Amino acid sequence: MTRVRFYHNAPDPFALACELVTSAYRSGRKAAVRLPDTGSMRAFDALLWSHQQRAFIPHVTAGSALAGQTPVVLDVAGTAPRWPHSDLIFNLAADVPPDAGQFRVVIEIVGKDEDHRRPARTRWQQYKAAGLALEAFDAIRREAL
């Protein structure tokens, strides 16, 4: 069954996502990262390259011929990617991924402002209505709410 983890009050959602993706990769997990738009995808790609010195997080876009062999795959909302794996999906977009149920874990990262909180409340309700297991964490303290 798919579990959904919400990290609330993130000062910088992209930085937290990058940190969590790095941790997932280092522990042998595979991650899909769903971003709001192409500009955000470019920014997240750059962040993965510069997040930590001497750290390399192998990543490509979902349309790449190497996606099946790459542990971190990026794509944008509004496309219908064929994710090459079904372990983790990090959703940084404002809507629920249409294929969320195919993943073991969906990770939602919510910023501090109302522009992030409002759509996150809607996503929470949608996941709840779908019967998925929900967990909430404080993004700063990294503890359950």
Q: Quote the CA–CA distance of 88 and 116 in Å, as a whole number.
A: 21
| Domain boundaries of the chain, sorted by first residue | 12-144
Contact predicate 70/64, CB 8 Å: yes
- 12-144 fold: Rossmann fold (3.40.50)
pLDDT at site 145: 78
Collapsed DSSP state (helix, strand, coil) of residue 60: strand
* pTM for the predicted model, two decimal places: 0.94
**Chain segment 79-133, per-residue pLDDT in tens:** 877 899 999 999 999 999 999 999 999 999 999 999 999 999 999 999 999 999 9
